[in-house]
Amino acid sequence: MPPERLVIASRESRLAMWQAKHVQALLKGLYPHCEISILGMTTRGDQILDKSLSKIGGKGLFIKELENALLEGKADLAVHSLKDVPMEMPEGFELTAILEREDPHDAFVSNQYDSLKQMPKGAKLGTSSLRREAQIKKKFPNIDIVPLRGNLDTRLAKLDRGEFDAMILATAGLTRLELTHRIKASIPPEECLPAAGQGALGIEILSQNIELAQFIAPLRDILATYQVSAERQVSRRLGGSCEIPIAAYATWDSYQTTLHLKALVSNIDGSQTITAQASALITHFGQAIDLGNVVADALIRDGAEHLIASLGN
């Protein structure tokens, strides 16, 4: 029997609520007689805006309160932007579905310049990501990169007040909030490789809730699931967190049968960067994980673990 009532836990930012409402609409389409509501919540990651994520506990700060709501029975599922989800799920929780992926690329947003190449020496570029910072510094060392926190609307307001000359933001978020007119240029992977899971939404539930997992299963996108799983496996193997500049990006061939995965790990200023890539025919989940392991092994052979260890010194 379909569920009679479901509660979705979500952060209260406009983008997070869009994501929750998107899942709400998809589930309503599957189960029109089910009452589906959204429980908006403020997380520690939303509250602490004067420090970078890498200094206050990382990605888990955006989901802990939502997980507590699941544990306490206040909500049945939580919707996350997957790039905000830690690589290791806490015991008792699982990502039961990865949805169709939005554009995973980074976007250059500015009121003054059309591209990173146009930015003069000393211009201020805002980003919340060490991954972006490392890659941009390597290619554009004269740009002044400034830490950026806050939700998407807050960040754009800071740009409009002149606090920044430009920003790097996720294309997916801008697209979902119908703000693509703010994008001056899409940043190609050759210039800035995306984060693992960027552009994808994930649904988290209690792992014991097998029946709910079955209800949610029709929302799974198999192509996105294999892509994101391969990407996240690289980051998982390398201890991926907000404190480490790691990127991983998987793309399908034109037949959607062969997956190509490229990843990198870097120091903060981009002066030391290790890259690896591999391709494989993917027909089931385990092969996507294997591909992630192949790329992670190559990074490790080339010194990734030593580079990561040096970041703590």
| Domain membership flag for residue 194 | no
Domain tally for the chain? 3
Whether 192 maps to a domain, the answer reads: no
d(C-alpha 32, C-alpha 42), whole Å: 29
What's the pTM?
0.93
pLDDT of residue 132: 97
Same domain, 266 and 134: no
* Helix (H) / strand (E) containing 92: none
Residue 151 gets the label, from left (phi > 0), alpha (psi -120 to 50) or beta, of beta
Query: Are 162 and 295 in a shared domain?
Result: no
Enter the tokens of residue 207: 């792992």
At 289 the pLDDT is 98
Rg (CA), the chain: 19
- The answer to whether the beta carbons of residues 200 and 104 sit under 8 Å apart is yes
Question: What CATH number is given to the structural domain containing 62?
Answer: 3.40.190.10
Q: Could you tell me if residue 161 is inside a domain?
A: yes
127 with 170, same domain? yes
pLDDT tens, position by position, 75-101: 999 999 998 899 999 999 999 999 999
Residue 291 lies in a domain: yes
33 and 77 belong to one structural domain = yes
296: domain CATH number?
3.30.160.40
Point out the residues that are catalytic: 84
Residue with tokens 């799974």: 220
- In this model, does residue 257 exceed pLDDT 60? yes
Q: Is position 274 within any domain?
A: yes
Same domain, yes or no: 112 and 80: no
Q: Give 6's Cβ-side CA count (13 Å radius).
A: 29
Same domain for 158 and 205: no
Q: Are residues 229 and 295 in the same domain?
A: yes
Distance CA 130, CA 246 (A): 8
Q: Is the pLDDT of residue 313 over 80?
A: no
Residues 179 and 216 in one domain: no
Does 199 score more than 80 pLDDT? yes
Pair (297, 167) in one structural domain: no
Q: Which domain holds residue 300?
A: 221-313
